[in-house]
């Protein structure tokens, strides 16, 4: 089954075609990040107007790149929630109209489920071993799931305030770095000492919940205590110390959930799963414990951040599960 999906939940206009939830036939992404750099963040109305302007070019390119026509498409999917309402509406309306015109079923997809299934892209169904603990972590969400099978998931915990990606973006802004802040912090952190500053991370009642707003405020106070006089070296040390603390909190929860629920695989997904320090913390802990757990993150960086291939993958699970 081939699904053409559209994703417009935030500031990426994306369309993709995926076969049977795994084989990516095309994946087209137009980022608005340059537009939003001027304001240091996404202005919803600006994002929505840009989506509607470029969408027809993007889904046509997805068809062209896959070498397919509408007759080859079995269903049309779009991200329905969560996200910026005005942006989501542009994708939903477009997908619903295309479904009607071309007489295909329409599938409304949850964006976070999309991130979960991004780990299935360019892989084969029979590679996976359950149970799996999955962390979806980006600018808008920070959830920990236990997957009993490819379609059964249980929410173990979530952020009580900011998502980790949001904290990366806000700390980057404090350091005068560009938006989106995650890759900028990661780059600067390679020149810093991650033990330079000890930053706090709270322990919550549910060990699988997260909280990043205190960490963000601690960086704000640290910068204030340094009288806002930051040398390039100090900035790099702050970036590295922040990145270490944030990624350690994520890795610790994930590893503890894997142990508690006797998981056979650990999955990272979402924009922050592109972070190499996060991946390394988990890999180091697994090798230290001589664990045979499999760590997976999306096959390509463009599958970590928002994309439509993952929406097609989640749409496939939705439609095949309902038809069972």
Residue 134 binds Zn ion, judged by CB under 5 A: no
Indicate whether 273 belongs to the interface with Zn ion (CB under 5 A): no
- 62, 98 Cβ separation under 8 angstroms: no
Instruction: Tell me which of Zn ion, ligand KG4, none is bound by residue 168, counting a contact when its beta carbon lies within the kind-specific cut-off of 5 to 8 angstroms.
Output: ligand KG4
What is the rounded distance in angstroms from the CA atom of residue 13 to the CA atom of residue 92? 12
The yes or no reply on residue 194 touching ligand KG4 (CB under 6 A) is no
DSSP string across 216-280: HHHHHHHHHHTTT---HHHHHHHHHHHHHHHHHHHHHHHHHHHHHTT-SEEEEESGGGG-HHHHH
Select the span of 192-200, 208-216, 223-231, 267-275 touching ligand KG4 (CB under 6 A).
267-275
Give backbone dihedrals phi and psi of 23, rounded to 5 degrees, phi first: -90, 110
Cis peptide leading into residue 82 (ω within 30°): yes
63 versus 136: smaller Cβ distance to ligand KG4:
136
Q: Interaction with ligand KG4 in 288-307: which residues (CB under 6 A)?
A: 305-306
Q: Least Å distance between CB 46 and ligand KG4?
A: 17
Q: Is there binding between residue 162 and Zn ion (CB under 5 A)?
A: no
Q: 128 and 295 in contact (C-beta within 8 Å)?
A: no
**Segments in 39-106 forming alpha helices (H):** 44-66, 85-101
Residue 167 beta carbon to ligand KG4: minimum distance, rounded to whole angstroms = 8
Chosen residue from 41, 44, 183, 214 binding ligand KG4 by CB under 6 A: 183
Are the C-beta atoms of residues 211 and 250 closer than 8 Å to each other? Answer: no
Strand order across the 265-269 sheet = 153-158, 142-147, 132-137, 265-269, 294-296
Nearer to Zn ion, 10 or 249 (CB): 10
Stretch that binds ligand KG4, among 29-37, 71-79, 181-189, 194-202 (CB under 6 A): 181-189
118 in contact with ligand KG4 (CB under 6 A): no
Which span (28-36, 219-227, 266-274, 285-293) binds ligand KG4, by CB under 6 A?
266-274
Between CA 112 and CA 136 the distance in angstroms is: 7
Q: Does 162 bind ligand KG4 (CB under 6 A)?
A: no
Q: Which tokens sit at 100?
A: 């009607």
Total residues in contact with ligand KG4, by rule CB under 6 A: 20
Smallest gap, in angstroms, from Cβ of residue 309 to ligand KG4?
13
**Residues 302, 274 contacting (CB under 8 angstroms):** no
Question: Which DSSP string corresponds to 135-158?
Answer: EEESSS-EEEEEESSSS-EEEEEE
Q: Which does 240 bind (CB under 5 to 8 A by kind): ligand KG4, Zn ion, none?
A: none
Indicate whether 109 belongs to the interface with ligand KG4 (CB under 6 A).
no
Residues forming the site for ligand KG4 (CB under 6 A): 10, 138-140, 165-166, 168-169, 180-183, 186, 270-272, 274-275, 305-306
- Site for Zn ion, rule CB under 5 A: 138, 306
């Amino acid at each position: 089954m081939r699904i053409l999906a559209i994703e417009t939940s935030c500031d990426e206009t994306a369309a993709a075609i995926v076969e049977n939830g795994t084989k990516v036939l095309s994946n087209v992404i137009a980022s608005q990040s340059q537009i939003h750099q001027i304001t240091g963040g996404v202005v919803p109305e600006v994002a929505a107007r840009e989506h509607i302007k470029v969408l027809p070019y993007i889904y046509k390119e997805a068809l062209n790149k896959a070498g397919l026509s509408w007759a080859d498409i079995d269903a049309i999917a779009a991200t329905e929630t969560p996200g910026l309402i005005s942006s989501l509406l542009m994708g939903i309306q477009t997908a619903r109209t295309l479904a009607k015109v071309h007489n295909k079923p329409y599938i409304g997809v949850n964006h976070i489920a999309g991130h979960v299934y991004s780990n299935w892209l360019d892989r084969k169904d029979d590679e996976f071993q359950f149970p799996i603990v999955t962390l979806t972590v980006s600018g808008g969400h920070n959830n920990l799931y236990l997957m009993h099978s490819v379609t059964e998931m249980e929410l173990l915990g979530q952020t009580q305030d900011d998502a980790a990606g949001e904290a990366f973006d806000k700390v980057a802004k404090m350091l005068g770095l560009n938006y989106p802040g995650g890759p900028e912090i990661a780059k600067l952190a390679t020149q810093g000492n991650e033990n330079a500053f000890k930053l706090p991370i709270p322990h919550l009642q549910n060990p699988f919940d997260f909280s990043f707003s205190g960490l963000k405020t601690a960086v704000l106070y640290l910068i204030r205590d340094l009288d806002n006089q930051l040398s390039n070296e100090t900035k790099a040390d702050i970036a590295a110390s922040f990145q270490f603390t944030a990624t350690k909190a994520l890795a610790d929860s994930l590893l503890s959930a894997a142990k508690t629920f006797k998981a056979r695989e650990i999955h990272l997904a979402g924009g922050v799963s592109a972070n190499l320090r996060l991946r390394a913390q988990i890999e180091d802990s697994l090798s230290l414990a001589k664990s045979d757990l499999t760590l997976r993150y999306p096959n390509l960086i463009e599958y970590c951040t928002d994309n439509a291939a993952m929406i097609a993958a989640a749409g496939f699970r939705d439609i095949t599960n309902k038809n069972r």
